[in-house]
């Protein structure tokens, strides 16, 4: 019987919800491109409820305990002697989330003698040392596509909110003001602007599709070109790299994985080549941008705004400069953890566990590392010597 260790973010400060804003979720069976949403044999939770925090337990307890497995759920992951560190030593399966990552470093993987499976209840397994997982024969899987559209919607929201100066204008209302000139002195229309994405995979392409009706010029760079029909349909301009693309853009959105090629990409040098007053939205991974260079670019006016939901480390310390830099629209790491996304990643985690316990193959699109090598979607998206 397996011990499953699940690291989730804390419950709301005022307690686990008893009621919800809405009664149901739209039913979605397929993602764009045809992949089906998770297909577990059953679920023991109500879609639309808070599953990603400690008391939500990803809806897994009944499923696991009724089959004789044990489940430990904690949010305590970073301090010396954390519950995560204590429980890891004999855990067979670790479940973590990019929003509240339990960093599975090489050191921790070495200490986790029984560890066989690391599941990301979400997308993005860069909190796992993939080299160490490969060396130890640990399988790494994630719930591919579960929250890609959720993130794309967040990117669109942040783009509009920065360009139109939404958050400071809302603040004037909260403060009792009616300061129209203060609100609009930094407010523009998106229409006619040039918008570029670094990477046009699931999220990047969904952002392009969602922004096309705004009558903007659309640009992208990616290691692989999109089909010609898609380029034509959306009127896309492809660029060989980020350096070639960003000087043309008023808005840049980052939708590439974190790996050695992208780490620190948006530093002083690249930022200096952007149009003065460009906006940068990063919901991919914080380390793709240089923390202090972003702060400097906002203060100098080189960037007119920066928004995103990814930080390093997570949770971000209280004195993280991105909390206080000017003209930012940061949120905590929430874009991929809407209640809608939670229902999918909880179901996907259950599907992965069902297959694992039954000894049947995991869906190829969920695999990152398997049998001592990058596998499935991981073989395409990740490189060894991950950051
Ligand atoms: P996909 O794998 O679908 O797409 C990533 C794309 O990036 C691929 O087309 C890939 O090209 C391309 N790429 C890789 N390296 C580069 C590079 N150096 N320059 C340009 N393009 C590059 O991933 P998703 O769209 O699903 O997700 C993108 C990232 O967003 C994830 O890696 C993750 O870090 C982040 N994410 C954030 C979430 C959040 O909650 N904020 C939730 C989900 C994901 P190729 O095909 O050649 O590999």
Over residues 254-279, mean pLDDT: 96
Residue ID of nearest Cα to ligand 1 atom 6: 201
> Is 148 annotated among the ligand-binding residues?
yes
Torsion of CA 219, 188, 268, 221, to 10 degrees: -10
Average pLDDT for residues 150-179, to the nearest whole number? 98
| Sheet-wide strand order for 70-74 | 70-74, 3-7, 93-96, 117-120, 139-142, 367-370, 373-374
Asked if residue 114 belongs to a domain, the reply is yes
139 lines ligand 1 (CB under 6 A): no
Q: Are residues 25 and 130 in the same domain?
A: yes
Task: Please give the pLDDT value at position 126.
Answer: 87
Q: Is the CB of 224 under 6 A from ligand 1?
A: yes
Same domain, 124 and 154: no
Cα–ligand 1 centroid distance for 202 (angstroms): 7
Q: Are residues 125 and 17 in the same domain?
A: yes
Ligand-binding site membership of 134 (annotated): no
**Which residues are part of the catalytic machinery?**
147, 285, 314, 333
pLDDT at 30: 97
- Known binding residue 334? Answer is yes
Nearest CA to ligand 1 atom 35: 284
Token pair listed for 310: 């990814």
Q: pLDDT-based confidence at 291, cuts 50/70/90?
A: very high
Q: Examine the domain organization and report whether 37 and 81 are in the same domain.
A: yes
Q: Residue 114 is encoded by which pair of tokens?
A: 């029984």
Task: Count CB atoms within 10 A of the CB of residue 18.
Answer: 5
**Which numbered atom of ligand 1 lies nearest the CA of 257?**
32
Which atom of ligand 1 approaches the CA of 223 most closely? 47
In a domain, 91, yes or no: yes
Residues 159, 239, single domain; the answer is yes
On whether residue 225 sits in a domain, the answer given is yes
Indicate if ligand 1 lies below 6 Å from the C-beta of 123.
yes
pLDDT for 48 beyond 90: yes
Residue 167 and residue 316 share a domain? yes
What pLDDT does residue 316 have? 96
Mean pLDDT in the chain?
A: 96
Q: Distance, CA 255 to ligand 1 centroid (Å)? A: 5
The answer to the question of whether 192 is labelled as a binding residue is no
pTM: 0.96
What are 167-222's pLDDT values in tens digits? 999 999 999 999 999 999 999 999 999 999 999 999 999 999 999 999 999 999 99
Beta bridge partners of 279: 251, 305
Task: Give 231 Cα–ligand 1 centroid separation in angstroms.
Answer: 18
Domain region containing 369: 3-147+337-374
Ligand 1 pocket mutation pick from 256, 345, 386 by most atoms within 8 angstroms of CB: 256
Ligand 1 pocket test: which of 120, 157, 201, 204 has the largest number of ligand atoms within 8 Å of its C-beta? Answer: 201
Number of domains the chain contains = 2
Atom from ligand 1 closest to the CA of residue 259: 15
Judge whether residue 242 has pLDDT over 80: yes
Over residues 334-347, the mean pLDDT reads: 98
43 is in an annotated binding site: no
Q: Is the pLDDT confidence value at 225 over 60?
A: yes
Asked if residue 344 has its Cβ within 6 Å of ligand 1, the reply is no
Same domain, 216 and 298: yes
% of residues, the chain, pLDDT over 70:
99
Residue 330 lies in a domain: no
Report the candidate in 344, 214, 234, 329 with the shortest Cα–Cα distance to residue 283. 329
Which pLDDT score is estimated for 182? 98
- Which CATH number do you get for residue 240? 3.40.50.720
Residue with the nearest Cα to atom 39 of ligand 1?
336
Sequence-distant (6+) residues with CB within 8 A of 218 are: 195, 196, 208, 211, 212, 234, 235, 236, 237
Q: Based on the domain organization, do 318 and 361 belong to the same domain? A: no
Q: What's the confidence (pLDDT) of residue 384? A: 67
Check if 335 has its Cβ closer than 6 Å to any atom of ligand 1.
yes
């Amino acid at each position: 019987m397996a011990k499953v260790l699940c690291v989730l973010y804390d419950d709301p400060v005022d307690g686990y919800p008893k009621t919800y804003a809405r009664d149901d979720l739209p039913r979605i069976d397929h993602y764009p491109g045809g992949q089906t949403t998770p297909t577990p044999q059953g679920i023991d939770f109500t879609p639309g409820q808070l599953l990603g925090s400690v008391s939500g337990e990803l809806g897994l307890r009944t499923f696991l305990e009724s089959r004789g497995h044990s489940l430990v759920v904690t949010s305590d992951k970073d301090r010396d002697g954390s519950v995560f560190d204590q429980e890891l030593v004999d855990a067979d399966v670790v479940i973590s989330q990019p929003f509240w990552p339990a960093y599975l470093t090489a050191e921790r993987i070495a200490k986790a003698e029984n560890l066989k499976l690391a599941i990301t209840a979400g997308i993005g397994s860069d909190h796992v040392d993939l080299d160490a997982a490969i060396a130890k024969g640990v399988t790494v899987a994630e719930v591919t596509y579960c929250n890609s559209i959720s993130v794309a919607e967040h990117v669109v929201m942040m783009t509009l909110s920065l360009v139109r100066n939404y958050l400071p204008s809302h603040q004037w209302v909260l403060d009792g003001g009616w300061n129209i000139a203060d609100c609009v002195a930094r407010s523009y229309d998106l229409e006619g602007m040039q918008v570029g994405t670094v990477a046009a995979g699931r999220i990047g392409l969904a952002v392009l599709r969602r922004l096309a009706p705004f009558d903007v010029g659309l640009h992208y760079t990616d290691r692989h070109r999109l089909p010609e029909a898609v380029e034509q349909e959306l009127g896309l301009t492809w660029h060989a790299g980020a350096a070639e693309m960003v000087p043309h853009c008023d808005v840049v959105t980052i939708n590439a994985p974190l790996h050695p090629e992208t780490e620190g990409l948006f530093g002083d040098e690249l930022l200096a080549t952007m149009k003065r007053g460009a906006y940068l939205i990063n919901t991919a991974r914080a380390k793709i941008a240089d923390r202090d260079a972003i702060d400097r670019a906002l203060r100098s006016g080189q960037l007119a705004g920066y928004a995103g939901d990814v930080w390093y480390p997570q949770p971000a310390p209280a004195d993280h400069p991105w909390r206080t830099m000017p003209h930012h629209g940061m949120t905590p790491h929430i874009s991929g953890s809407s209640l809608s996304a939670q229902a999918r990643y909880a179901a996907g985690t259950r599907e992965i566990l069902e297959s694992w316990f039954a000894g049947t193959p995991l869906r190829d699109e969920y695999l990152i590392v398997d049998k001592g090598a990058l596998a499935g979607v991981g073989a395409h998206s990740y490189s060894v010597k991950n950051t």
